[in-house]
Amino acid sequence: MQIDTIDKSRELRAYRFGMLMFLVTQAVPFTVIYAVEYLFDEFYISPKANQWLGTVEVLLVLASWWLGRQGLAAIRQNRLLDLVTKFRQSLLLGTASLVVLGYQWGTRFVPPSTRYGEVYYTLTGVTGFYTLVSLFVLLAISIRAAKVKLSSDNYWDAEATMYLWTFGLLTNVISYVLLYWI
């Protein structure tokens, strides 16, 4: 019994380490784009960038992440239905943030032919892609949780999802700060 607990603990640490290494590798494109943004514009902010919509987008992602964290806390207390509910609410808010991003792209507040526009659309596109991937994972785990019967002893799927969604939150916040404030 004691050996099984130690093995499971070691296995969980290995999963967490592997997930963190995966996310570090996923940060490379952002680092390159941030460096390019600095080289091209030295943190120039276009006066045409709509800071209010950018703020709404980031606040939606932040609220979505917070709901996901509540879902993770719920499964740690064996409340499977709350996990599924919170993950799906998180999915809705995350989707709303992508709708706001799509609206900004559609209205072309920022001209794509400028250097700022090139960086803006590239960075928001990559950020939007990772947001979309995170939302697919939230949906998949909210569906899978009921079938697999996640519990306080078996919730790595939900925890890994929140690692990915935290990465999505960080990319959104950093992109927001670089594109609208610095």
Contact yes or no for 37/43 (Cβ under 8 A):
yes
Flag whether pLDDT at 75 surpasses 60. yes
C-beta contacts of 121-127 below 8 A and 24+ residues apart: 122/33, 123/30, 123/33, 123/34, 123/37, 123/175, 123/178, 123/179, 124/175, 124/179, 126/29, 126/30, 126/33, 126/171, 127/30, 127/168, 127/171, 127/172, 127/175
Flag whether pLDDT at 93 surpasses 60. yes
**pLDDT tens digits for 42-51?**
777 777 888 8
Mean pLDDT for 83-107 is 94
pLDDT at residue number 88: 95
Mean pLDDT for 86-94 is 96
pLDDT at residue number 148: 82
Highest mean pLDDT among 44-48, 84-88, 156-160: 84-88
Superfamily of domain 2-180: Cytochrome c oxidase, subunit III, four-helix bundle (1.20.120.80)
Flag whether pLDDT at 4 surpasses 70. no
Cα–Cα distance, 6 to 90 (Å, whole number): 33
Share of the chain above pLDDT 90, in %: 47
pLDDT at residue number 3: 55
Q: Where are the domains of the chain?
A: 2-180
Mean pLDDT for 11-28 is 90
pLDDT at residue number 110: 83
